[in-house]
Amino acid sequence: MIKGDPLMIKLVRARPALLIYFSFWFIYFIYVWSQALRLDPNGELMAGNDNLWADWVLHFMVSTSMAYRDLLPHASPLLLDAPFHYPFISNLISALLLKAGASFPVAFAVPSLIFSLLLVGTLYYFFNALFRSTGIAVLASWIFLLNGGLGFVYFLQDILASAEPLATFFSPPRDYTYLEDHHVVVQSLINSILIPQRSFTHGFPVALLALTLIYTTLENFAGVLDRTRIIKLVTAAILLGLLPLIHTHSFIGVFVILCFWSVGYLLFSKGPWLQRAKPWLLIGGVTSIIALPLLKLFILDHSTSNFMHWLPGWQATERSVNWLWFWFKNWGVLPVLAVAGLIWLIRTQDTARKKGAWLFVLLPFFVIFALVNLVSFQPWSWDNTKLLTWATLGFAGLSAYCIVQLWQHGMRVFSSHTGKPILAVLMVDIAIVSVLLCTTSGAIAAYRVARIDMHRHAMFSVEEMELAAWVTSNTAADSVWLSSDHHHNWLALTGRQIMMAYRGWLWSHGYSYSKQEQDIQRIYSTADPQLLKDYRINYIVVGPNERETWKADSAVFAQHYPVIKSSSNYLIFKIN
């Protein structure tokens, strides 16, 4: 049966690579997410990842405000009376799970697990649709997930310098995709974005799915929009239209990609111009109807003048490092392989039409890379890595294409016993070394992520968990609270509106908060009744962070307001 069926032969040959790829990543993410957020036997909420520990309290704050107050918020939970502008779909999913009675670990870790597995699938789906090769698709997916630059060189140095090299090898002491002193800052995708950045984890696979639907639907389009094609394109357009609420950076990345794809399609596909334009008019129309109102409501109307700014050279400029040296350390040979892959792919096309079409399919990934190096899309320039991920996607695909071509050409020379065997050996060796250079640092980082024992941290103590439970049960959901702006504020678990959250979040999201800063300092120093009235404060928390950061004096409040709840370290005052 297989002899006469080329498709079956292809599937049988592809099965081991696909089985390894999907089995490994499914087992990996199931394990990592099962350990990511847990309640220990004492009742502490524990995080199993450094970056998750640092970032997820923001998501707790947004999700609990949606679960316990307004399911579709109009005001920011981060700053009293400020507008809400945040891609909230990932937090809406967790809010619905909380409302249904799920625990915090289930409500937050389970959706991230599901979308991580979806990412594994959509990566392969996208690359296989683009290159029509299982081998390239699998390799490109590995490179994308494990890309990490040349930080592994410092890992080897640490092993050689260690008194216990074997222990250092099995317990890497640092994240070798993030070494500040060496200007290695484009962190491993898994550690810096996929685990902590919930919006990315949900939005990226959705965007990939939409892109692949569009590409496969129009790849052999003959000018007739039948019912099946319309359904696929409308589905993709709906997904794209919702992206501003899921992950704004993915929306920007996809916008750039589709601009090039549409122009390339109009220029190089066959058939009357109007027929070629119809599918793109359909995609653009449906996407615009959904996305433009969402962008206006949640993004554009609330952007500040310093939200985006000109920054040629990106982090290389901020660190006063040579641009080429910076990218060589952070991306290694990936850009070189990508350029080589692009040239190789275009040169192998037999017509000018095909060459032009492929150029417009792949050029947007280089344009996104250029944009990342010219403009900072958020106040904190490092956030450009979320957009850089889209450049990595294209670069990973082209690098995998280049490596597979090197391998196949080298093996072909070996098997034919013609040509120069030295050249064949060189091509095969370059292919193997290229894979190692592209993935070793990321593999070390992925291993460290799975070593939960190396970076498990308490997010909230038993005392703080008990206080959060008491507040949720005994105070009004719409009450306003004054507390510290510490980024691990336990009020994030309650859904209550606080006057001002962590200032690092406010700055990175473009909020102006200098007046609130001054007023909070005055309230904690004097218990100013007029300011308490102006800000509609119902409760004041005085605890370790309030005393340390704001010099809060509980005696000042005790003269005028009753203590309604106390614990070992905290006092909660009720304001009449």
* pLDDT at res. 306: 58
Q: Determine contact, residues 316/326, Cβ cutoff 8 Å.
A: yes
What the block records as the tokens of 393 is 């996607």
* pLDDT at res. 3: 44
| Phi/psi at 573 (5° precision) | -100, 140
- Does 5 score more than 80 pLDDT? no
Residue 294 pLDDT level (bands cut at 50, 70, 90): confident
- Does 519 score more than 90 pLDDT? yes
Per-residue model confidence as pLDDT tens digits over 264-285: 999 988 878 888 899 999 999 9
233 to each of 171, 212, 228, 266, 287, how far by Cα in Å?
48, 10, 9, 17, 10
Per-residue model confidence as pLDDT tens digits over 411-430: 877 776 666 778 888 888 99
**Single-letter amino acid, residue 410:** G
Dihedral of CA atoms 28, 31, 32, 37 in degrees, nearest 10, equals 160
* pLDDT at res. 100: 95
Helix spans in 247-272 (H): 248-268
CA distance 148 to 51: 17
* pLDDT at res. 124: 97
CA distance 542 to 548: 10
CA distance 248 to 254: 10
539 membership: H or E segment, kind and range: strand 539-542
* pLDDT at res. 574: 96
Per-residue model confidence as pLDDT tens digits over 354-398: 999 999 999 999 999 999 999 888 888 888 899 999 999 999 999
* pLDDT at res. 2: 38
* pLDDT at res. 417: 61
* pLDDT at res. 300: 64
| Phi/psi at 79 (5° precision) | -150, 125
Per-residue model confidence as pLDDT tens digits over 76-91: 999 999 988 888 999 9
- Does 1 score more than 70 pLDDT? no
Mean pLDDT (the chain, rounded): 91
* pLDDT at res. 307: 66
Look at strands 37-39 and 45-47 and give their pairing: antiparallel
**Single-letter amino acid, residue 302:** H
CA distance 321 to 381: 15
- Cβ-Cβ contacts under 8 Å for 303 (sequence gap 6 or more): 85, 510
Dihedral of CA atoms 172, 178, 184, 186 in degrees, nearest 10, equals 130
CA distance 150 to 248: 29
Q: Which residues on adjacent β-strands are paired with residue 75?
A: 83
- With pLDDT > 70 as the criterion, what percentage of the chain qualifies? 95
What the block records as the tokens of 381 is 């320039």
CB atoms within 10 A of CB 34: 15
| Phi/psi at 511 (5° precision) | -80, 150
Q: Is 551 left (phi over 0), alpha (psi -120 to 50) or beta?
A: left
What the block records as the tokens of 270 is 């066959």
What the block records as the tokens of 310 is 């000109």
CA distance 91 to 199: 8
Residue 8 pLDDT level (bands cut at 50, 70, 90): very low
Q: For the whole model, what pTM was predicted?
A: 0.91
- With pLDDT > 90 as the criterion, what percentage of the chain qualifies? 76
Sign of the torsion angle spanned by Cα atoms 143, 149, 155, 156: positive
Q: Determine contact, residues 200/193, Cβ cutoff 8 Å.
A: yes
CA distance 502 to 66: 19
CA distance 564 to 574: 6
